[in-house]
Amino acid sequence: WGCVVKKKQRQSGRSHVIRRVIDDYLRACPVMKLSDGDACPCGSIRRYDDCCGPKGVEYRLLWESESGEPALIDSRIFRERATKLLMYLDRPWARGISSLSQGLRYLEGLYRRYDSFVALFESFVSCRRGCTACCYYLVGTSFIEAELIKRYAVRHLSQEQLDAIRVRVREQLPHYIRENQRPRDRQKDEELLAAYFQKRLPCPFLSTENDCMVYPVRPFTCRSHSAVSDPHACETGKGLELLDV
């Protein structure tokens, strides 16, 4: 029983640290003072005093766009989803994964929680289906992400699609840059990635309809790439602002 108590104490301690990290982040975001006549930031067509105001919902300012439009977030929902994500990352059993199947299940669970968290910022993001600007960047993946993509592709894609992916990979292989080939100097690395982008090599999983063929299992490099600037900035990279989550 002593071991059980100590384990619960350690878990409680980690939970406290996670909550403190989230609270510190929210404290850095100023509370947005809304008047009763303002439109409610939740997205409804009602006024704040007829919607979230009476519920005591607190909205915090994450940033302002170039046009001065505020990006507001419900601090309660932010705290709830961020806690679920960070607690999942901190699960003790995650550090004891002993098989590929366990790792794949954990990754799928992590994707679900991350997507739920990032969905909070969807209304501020300029990325939309059919926009393929970021599909020409060099995308790195971990082994377990690549394995999940492979299994998904074999299960869900047609033979014709799989053959097209193999052909594109063979054609692009000489241009791929391995992680150990990237310079440590940040400026030189950015120049290398920019040069790759200029080659206009489409992702092997980009379909002829400009859709991602493996979208549900796309790697974190893709999931975390969300533009909050003008969509035209994505084509050149100039003035491009990304959601930092």
* Average pLDDT for 24-53: 88
With bands split at pLDDT 50, 70 and 90, how would you rate the model's confidence at 89?
A: confident
Averaged pLDDT, 57-85: 87
pLDDT at 197 over 60: yes
Q: Are 43 and 18 in contact (CB under 8 A)?
A: no
What is the Rg, in whole angstroms, of the alpha carbon atoms belonging to the chain?
22
**Residues forming beta bridges with residue 74, ordered by sequence position:** 59
pLDDT band at 3 (very low <50, low <70, confident <90, very high): very low
Segment (H or E) for 198: helix 186-198
- Counting beta carbons within 10 angstroms of the beta carbon of residue 36, is it exposed (0 to 12), middle (13 to 18) or buried (19 or more)? exposed
pTM score, two decimals? Answer: 0.82
Q: What is the DSSP string of 87-153?
A: HHHT-GGGGG--SHHHHHHHHHHHHHHHHHHHGGGGGG----TT--GGGGS-----HHHHHHHHHHH
Rounded distance between C-alpha atoms, residue 110 and residue 68, angstroms: 34
Please say whether the beta carbons of 155 and 108 come within 8 A: no
- 15-38 residue pLDDT tens: 888 889 899 989 999 998 888 788
